[in-house]
Structures are given as structure tokens and as C-alpha cells.
């Protein structure tokens, strides 16, 4: 991809591919076509050596034609028939086989072979190495060159940049600080679609419910909320599945410890009751007073401790059962991951197309609803591209959630829904725009003082 390109610089770059190339420009086609066609015999590649520059020649408009040249007829003539009985048609492509002294040429093309009179050649023949994008549809070449003297749209990029089987190069004329990449990106995000007059009238009068290529408010919000719902559901299911296993392992450990405590404390309680029964009676109390006191204390406390441990056992068993339920539910959700992710991809495509359209509109029109938050669009460059991306996000966020200005109310810190997610994403993007320098670094050069 090149900027500040001229037809001369383009033709000079072709050194290893056939000069059979594609050319397209949104402005005049004459200048680049004339220079590329005129310089064709200087270009290396498969064509070099195939033109008979020493033999008989003729002229077609500003061009001198040689045997071996590839030409295009520019006028339908039913009187001229090929050897297959097909008439000569506009935009048909031919290769010159012979040139007569009177200027007539015999040519061969897909429709067969035909002799074109000298008068027809002079008035209605053009060289066919460079063409408009429309004229190149359906053509396959080794290398394609695309020249544009300004921004175009996605459809007019696709045809020229998909003709070459080995290489496709693009050259864009630029102005000011604009780069070829800026022009290319603007062309990629532009969609010139013919609209009925009444549709255009309604747009100019602001009477249409929404603009072409944009999702309406209700549908857009449904898509944004559904996208968040699916992503949030899958994320929580994966987290629940992971935590359920950890929580169940911890519960099993606690359960085993609680059951062991019950066993030990029950044995201790039974021993205390036995001590009391054996020594807490006349003639034995004096000699076993300490043992009796200890046993009485254990007899009073241990039943409560055993009851607490029993409650803990019940709680942990319930927790284990709950983790199994959580794990089962999470597994069921994750089993639907392929279908849910497929739905997310479909939603992503719709949201991306809507975002691309809103980005283009914001970039070209810079409405107050955008500039009030982001400021004016910077000069073409990285800052402008950052501004465009954020402007598209802002426009989509405002439309989805019915916000007239800015990013809308600050969501609560503990709120987790489609609005809070979109708001955080947009706030981060706005912060980047405000940190991005809008101009290049200025270097002060020493001057001469008089």
C-alpha cells in the first residue's frame, strides 16, 4: 500500500508480474490509464519481448499499437462478426495478431477472431492493460495494481484487490498529513449504496426511524444484553464448576474431622459417666475428688460439643450435596457452549456491522452528541483512528441505552449487567482518546536572527 502515488511511480514498480493489471480511480481514469498503457513496453515480465515494436504499427487515440498488444473495443458494432459469428461488443478484450498497412487490425479474443477496420480502431479501440474497477470484474491476472486518487468504498475496493492470483498492490493519493492507510481504512468503512429518492429525502429531513446499516434502538439493546447474558453465563458456569470441586474437597476434609471429634468426645463422655458412677458415692469421694470433678465437668460440657459437631456434620453434608448440584448445573450449561458461542458469533457480526456504520457516520459528520464528549476529530493519523473507534463505541452505547449525551450515569460499583459492562468499556476508551496526542511532536529548528 503506497501513498502519494502517481501513475508513473506505479508502472515503475512492476518488474516481475504481467502488466495486465487492474486500475480504478474515483476521479478521472484518463491520466493513470494513459501513463500505464503508454509505458507498457518498458515494463518487465511476461509481456517483455512479446510486443513487436519493429513491425507494422497503427494508432488508436493517443496510443501506438503493436502486434501482441492487448486492446479493448469500446463500441458495439453488429456489422463486425468474429469467425464464430459473435458481434464485436463494448469492453471486449482482444490480442492483436496482425496489423495491416491501412490501419486495420486482426484480433483474437474469447469470442473468436475478427478484423477491425482502421476507422473503428482509431475511434473505438483502447489499450486494455489498465481498466476501471467495473471493467475488471471477472478478470484474473497474475498481478493486480489498484490506483485511487481518493477514498472510495468497500465494494470498489473488493473487485480491484482480488484480481491478482500472486500479488495485488494498492496505491492511494494522499493530501496533508493523511496517510495511505487512513484512506484505505476510510474506504473499508464506507458503503455507498444507492437509495431511493424518498429515502434520501427522509434522511435529509430527519424523518427516518434509523439510518441505513444501523440497528434500531430496541434490537440493538436486545443484542447487547443477550451478548452480555451469554458471556456472563458461560463465565460463571466455568467459575462455578472450578469452585464446586474445591469447595467439595474442603467440605469432605471438614466432615471427616467433625466425625472424628464426635467419636473422641463420645468416648470421653462415656468414660466421664463411668468415673462418676464408680467414684461419686460414699467412702470413695474423698480419695477420687479430682477425678470426680473432671468427669463432672466433661459430662456437662461434652454433650454441647458433640451437638455442635453433629450440626457441623449436617451442614457439611448439605454443602457437599449443594456442590454436586452446582457442578451438575454448571456442567449442563457448559455442555451448551458450542451453541451459545455460535449465537455470540452471530450477535458479534451484527454488532460489528452496526459499529462500523456508526464509526463511519461519526467520523464524517462529527455530531454534537459525540464531540461534546470526545472533542473535535483530530487531524488524520493515529489520533484520528483512535477517535473514530471510540466515537463508534459511544454512538452505539448511546443508542442501545437511550442516552442523549455522554456515556450516561455512573453505574454502582457492585452492578454487573450489560449497561455497566458497556459503560466501563466506553469509559476506558474515552480515557485513551483524551491521553492520545492530537498532533505530532513539534521540533523547533534553529534559525538565523538578524
Whether residue 353 contacts residue 213, with contact meaning beta carbons closer than 8 Å, is answered with yes
* C-alpha distances out from residue 146 to 43, 131, 152, 274, 432, Å: 16, 10, 12, 103, 35
pLDDT digits (tens, 9 = 90+) for 204-223: 665 544 566 789 899 999 99
The low-confidence residues of the chain, meaning pLDDT below 50, are 3-31, 33, 41-49, 208-209, 439-450
Q: What is the pLDDT of residue 379?
A: 83
Q: What is the pLDDT of residue 98?
A: 94
DSSP string computed for 300-316:
HHHHHHHHHHHHHHHHH
* C-alpha distances out from residue 177 to 209, 268, 433, Å: 37, 89, 19
Tell me the whole-structure pTM to 2 decimals.
0.47
User: Counting beta carbons within 10 angstroms of the beta carbon of residue 120, is it exposed (0 to 12), middle (13 to 18) or buried (19 or more)?
Assistant: buried
Whether residue 422 contacts residue 224, with contact meaning beta carbons closer than 8 Å, is answered with yes
| H/E segment holding residue 230 | helix 217-279
Q: What is the pLDDT of residue 249?
A: 95
Between CA 228 and CA 230 the distance in angstroms is 6
Q: What are phi and psi of 218, to 5 degrees?
A: -65, -45
Q: What is the pLDDT of residue 147?
A: 83
Whether residue 166 contacts residue 73, with contact meaning beta carbons closer than 8 Å, is answered with no
Q: What is the pLDDT of residue 18?
A: 36
Q: What are phi and psi of 311, to 5 degrees?
A: -65, -40
Between CA 253 and CA 249 the distance in angstroms is 6
Whether residue 89 contacts residue 72, with contact meaning beta carbons closer than 8 Å, is answered with no
Amino acid at each position: 500500500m503506497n501513498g502519494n502515488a502517481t501513475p508513473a511511480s506505479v508502472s515503475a514498480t512492476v518488474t516481475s508480474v504481467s502488466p495486465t493489471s487492474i486500475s480504478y480511480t474515483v476521479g478521472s481514469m484518463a491520466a493513470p490509464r494513459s501513463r500505464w498503457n503508454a509505458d507498457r513496453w518498458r515494463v518487465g515480465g511476461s509481456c517483455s519481448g512479446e510486443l513487436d515494436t519493429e513491425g507494422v504499427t497503427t494508432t488508436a487515440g493517443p496510443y501506438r499499437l503493436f502486434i501482441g498488444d492487448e486492446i479493448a473495443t469500446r463500441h458495439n458494432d453488429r456489422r463486425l462478426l468474429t469467425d464464430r459469428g459473435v458481434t464485436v461488443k463494448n469492453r471486449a478484450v482482444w490480442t492483436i495478431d496482425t496489423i495491416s498497412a491501412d490501419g486495420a487490425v486482426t484480433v483474437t479474443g474469447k469470442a473468436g477472431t475478427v478484423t477491425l477496420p482502421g476507422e473503428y480502431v482509431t475511434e473505438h479501440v483502447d489499450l486494455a492493460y489498465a481498466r476501471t474497477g467495473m471493467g475488471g470484474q471477472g478478470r484474473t491476472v497474475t498481478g493486480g495494481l489498484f490506483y485511487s486518487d481518493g477514498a472510495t468504498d468497500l465494494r470498489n475496493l473488493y473487485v480491484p484487490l482480488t484480481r491478482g492470483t500472486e500479488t495485488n498492490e494498492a496505491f492511494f493519493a494522499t493530501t496533508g498529513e493523511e496517510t495511505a492507510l487512513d484512506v484505505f481504512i476510510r474506504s473499508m468503512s464506507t458503503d455507498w449504496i444507492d437509495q431511493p429518492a424518498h429515502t434520501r429525502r427522509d434522511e435529509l429531513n430527519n424523518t427516518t426511524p434509523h439510518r441505513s446499516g444501523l440497528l434500531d434502538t430496541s434490537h440493538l439493546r436486545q443484542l447487547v444484553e443477550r451478548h452480555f447474558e451469554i458471556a456472563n453465563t458461560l463465565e460463571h458456569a466455568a467459575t462455578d464448576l472450578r469452585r464446586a470441586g474445591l469447595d467439595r474437597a474442603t467440605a469432605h476434609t471438614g466432615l471427616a474431622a467433625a466425625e472424628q471429634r464426635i467419636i473422641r468426645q463420645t468416648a470421653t463422655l462415656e468414660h466421664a459417666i463411668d468415673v462418676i458412677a464408680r467414684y461419686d458415692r460414699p467412702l470413695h469421694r474423698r480419695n477420687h475428688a479430682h477425678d470426680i470433678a473432671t468427669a463432672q465437668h466433661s459430662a456437662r460440657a461434652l454433650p454441647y460439643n458433640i451437638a455442635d459437631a453433629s450440626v457441623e456434620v449436617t451442614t457439611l453434608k448439605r454443602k457437599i450435596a449443594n456442590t454436586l448440584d452446582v457442578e451438575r448445573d454448571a456442567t449442563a450449561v457448559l455442555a451448551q457452549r458450542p451453541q451459545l458461542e455460535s449465537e455470540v458469533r452471530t450477535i458479534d457480526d451484527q454488532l460489528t456491522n452496526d459499529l462500523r456504520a456508526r464509526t463511519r457516520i461519526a467520523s464524517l459528520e462529527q455530531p454534537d452528541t459525540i464531540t461534546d464528549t470526545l472533542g473535535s476529530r483530530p487531524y488524520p493519523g493515529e489520533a484520528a483512528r483512535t477517535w473514530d473507534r471510540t466515537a463508534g463505541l459511544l454512538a452505539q452505547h448511546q443508542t442501545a441505552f437511550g442516552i442523549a449525551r455522554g456515556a450516561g450515569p455512573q453505574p454502582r460499583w457492585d452492578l454487573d449487567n450489560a449497561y455497566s459492562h458497556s459503560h466501563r468499556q466506553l469509559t476506558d476508551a474515552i480515557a485513551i482518546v483524551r491521553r492520545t496526542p492530537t498532533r505530532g511532536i513539534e521540533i523547533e529548528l534553529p534559525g538565523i536572527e538578524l
